[in-house]
Amino acid sequence: MAAALLRRAVVVAAVLATVTSLLAPAAVAQLSTSFYSGSCSSLESIVRSGMVSAVQQEPRMGASILRLFFHDCFVNGCDGSVLLDDSSTLTGEKNAGPNANSLRGFEVIDAIKSRVDAACPGTVSCADILAVAARDGVNLLGGPSWGVPLGRRDARTTTQAAANSNLPSPSSSAATLISAFASKGLDSRDMVALSGAHTIGAARCASFRSRVYNDSNINAGFATRRRQVCPAQGGVGDGNLAPLDAFSSVRFDNGYFRNLLSRFGLLHSDQELFNGGPVDSIAQQYAGNGGAFSADFVTAMIKMGNISPLTGSNGEIRNNCRKPN
């Protein structure tokens, strides 16, 4: 009898521990997909409308907004800090090495914020608007959709140094990428899935010059074609663009991974995902199974969106996404 009771107690304790571990991230973050259901029920339709206009005007904007969200979350958490302009009292993230001359889409977020505030004044954070806009950008280019946990508040400050030290480089190795993502609570599968965001968008010559002139694990014909838009001399043509996915850069699919299997990765860090290393099997799985990639991408996006958000009374709801109140 006593033994049976002890076994039952152990089982109950194990179940409670499992439930607690599953709920802990959401509980700590206090994020919820229904956070604005009573205070701004039109939020998602307003963001969707703004993103439809932006993507119709320029399909690449879906990728640009997704990249903004990634760069926001990896620097001090998903707190809208990437949107802050430099001022006499703040040197922000926009001109950090990984962001200067490449981050874009700020005006899209500004326009959506104006419309959201017209409907729900002082209610919705810039950080949450960016999170929803990133989801819609993916979906409008043919990718999956998902419920976005909300309730983030906006940071009042940030530093350029934080962006320089936290954002992975296009020259990163697989080991460096795994470590960088692990430091944010994201595992190897999350890292590979999130890297699949490179199925849309474009990169600047300055980011892939070394890859197409110096790397050996690259398809020779592909390297030759990319050299045509990217001169060997540094400082010349740095801003020239090439699609990250050679075949479907405005459609969110698993083509990025198929490219890697053919050594068509545009960035050094892209090809590191399939280069005889620890995550080759994941990239190979995604190349053959677009559904698995989409499902894991959604999981990873939700996890990334839960990196150190400001909630409760922390931070603020910015009136202007570009500056603290």
Q: Is 168 annotated as a binding residue?
A: yes
Closest CA to 64 of 56, 77, 55: 55
- The answer to whether 316 is annotated as binding is no
Please indicate if the annotation marks 136 as binding a ligand.
Answer: no
Torsion from C-alpha of 272, 273, 278, 279, nearest 10 degrees? 170
Single-letter amino acid, residue 82? V
Q: Which residues pair with 156 in a beta bridge?
A: none
* CA trace torsion 159, 317, 26, 134 (10° rounding): -70
Task: Output the CA angle 297-299-300, nearest 5 degrees.
Answer: 65
Q: Is 75 annotated as a binding residue?
A: yes
Residue type at 86 in one-letter notation: D
Compute the distance between CA of residue 295 and CA of residue 145 in angstroms, rounded to an integer: 10
198 annotated ligand-binding residue: yes
Query: What is the Cα–Cα distance from 143 to 200, expressed in whole angstroms?
Result: 10
190 annotated ligand-binding residue: no
Kind plus residue range of the DSSP H or E element containing 11: helix 2-29
Q: Is 296 annotated as a binding residue?
A: no
Distance separating alpha carbons of residues 158 and 79, to the nearest angstrom? 10
Catalytic residue annotation = 71
Please tell me the distance from the alpha carbon of residue 135 to that of residue 149, in angstroms, as a whole number: 11
Ligand-binding site membership of 81 (annotated):
yes
**Residues annotated within a binding site for heme b:** 198
**Residues annotated within a binding site for Ca(2+):** 72, 75, 77, 79, 81, 93, 199, 245, 253
**Residues annotated within a binding site:** 72, 75, 77, 79, 81, 93, 168, 198-199, 245, 253
